[in-house]
Amino acid sequence: MSAVLDMALSQQDEHPLKDNAMSVMISATEAKLQTHEAICAERYQSLSDSLSKGDKRMTKIEYLLYAVIAAVLLGPGVAAEFIKKLFGL
């Protein structure tokens, strides 16, 4: 592997125009990569925020489902009495 690397480096020294073109290509690639990383960081933050909000919503839905299950199992009369006591009616 080092023989291939040595050969590539020796060929670069022979062609200064290729070296300049290569460095321009590398800097363009680095700029594209930095832009890509910045965009991905924003997307990741947005995704993380969205999942956090979704988790809170799922918790509320879970509690509502527990209440509905209790109302179905205990009957509508018991559920109505519980709501009356809960709201002080």
71-74, long-range: CB < 8 A, 24+ apart: none
| Per-residue tens of pLDDT for the chain, all 89 residues | 555 555 555 655 555 556 777 788 888 899 999 999 999 999 999 999 988 888 888 988 999 898 888 888 887 788 778 778 888 87
The token pair that represents 8 in the structure block: 């590539």
- Tokens 């969205």 correspond to 50
- Report d(CA 31, CA 22) in Å as an integer: 14
pTM check: above 0.75: no
Contact 22, 12 (CB under 8 A): yes
- The tokens for 87 are 């709201």
- Domain range for 31 is 2-87
**How many structural domains does the chain have?**
1
Q: How far apart are CA 63 and CA 44, in angstroms?
A: 29
